[in-house]
Amino acid sequence: MRQQPEQQAPPVQRLRIRYAKRGRLRFTSHRDFSRAFERAVFRARIPMAYSSGFNPHPRISYAGASPTGAASEAEYVELGLAQVVDPAQVLADLDEALPDGLDLLVVVESEGGSLSDRLTGSRWRVGLPGAGDLAPLVADFLARDEVLVERMTKKGLREFDARGAVVSLVPATEPTGAVLDLVLRHTVPAVRPDDVLTALTKVAGPDAGASLGSGAPLLTRLEQGVLDEMTGTIGDPLASP
């Protein structure tokens, strides 16, 4: 009979990390980031706890990853450690081991509960180079009960309501084009900023090209955390409950 694998001890400390994806690193996929992060953990000699089983792996949990191509100031990951360490030292060591553009911002001890459960909304900045005044289009979109869009997912082509996930959408103009301040509640399936742009294109109809500009959208997640449905604000998921 095959010998049973050694059972690993549970973590003695859990750390939660906020990090940013900036510059060219916004084009890294979640898989690319996870590989880079695990290499950085190894180089920084972080005392990781490991899972049990025939193929133990470091206890790293990723939550709420942004889509490939989007920059972000609010990405989160949780580590399970085999020793108690100083969070400030982990921040310094890991940040030095990661490539420029993947930048650690905060490291704190976990106070329990699920990190994913505290990521219920996101605030985005959507830059639209060459776009004009979007106020009439945004008003038309917000006045609708639903706007259905389609996107290919792991389960195939799915149709879902992009309007229902939008908490707020505020347009502004800049010298280079238009900017949207977008707050999304996290839903299943997830509605992304590009889904909202698809919905705006659908609402605009034949005039979509002129309205939304010709340049590639510039997506940046500014905040991610606990959505307050009354105010539309995003709370810090690393703060005490």
Last residue of a domain, one of 72, 101, 117: 117
What backbone torsions phi and psi does residue 172 show, to the nearest 5 degrees? -150, 165
Quote the CA–CA distance of 5 and 55 in Å, as a whole number: 9
Last residue of a domain, one of 76, 96, 117: 117
Q: Are residues 82 and 132 in the same domain?
A: no
Q: In the prediction, which pLDDT does 185 show?
A: 97
* pTM greater than the 0.75 cutoff: yes
Q: Are residues 150 and 197 in the same domain?
A: yes
Q: Read off the amino acid at residue 155.
A: K
Quote the CA–CA distance of 9 and 229 in Å, as a whole number: 40
Q: In the prediction, which pLDDT does 207 show?
A: 74
Q: Are residues 59 and 126 in the same domain?
A: no
DSSP 145: S
In the chain, the number of structural domains is 2
Q: Are residues 66 and 156 in the same domain?
A: no
Full 3-state SS string of 23-90: HHHHHCCHHHHHHHHHHHHHHCCCCECECCCCCCCECEEEECCCCCCCEEEEEEEEEEECCCCCHHHH
Last residue of a domain, one of 91, 117, 143: 117
Q: In the prediction, which pLDDT does 1 show?
A: 56
* 69 inside domain: yes
Mean pLDDT by 10 residues, the chain (241 residues): 70 96 93 93 95 85 92 97 96 95 96 91 96 94 96 86 97 93 95 96 82 87 96 93 70
* 6 inside domain: no
Q: Are residues 111 and 212 in the same domain?
A: no
What backbone torsions phi and psi does residue 6 show, to the nearest 5 degrees? -65, 135
Q: In the prediction, which pLDDT does 51 show?
A: 86
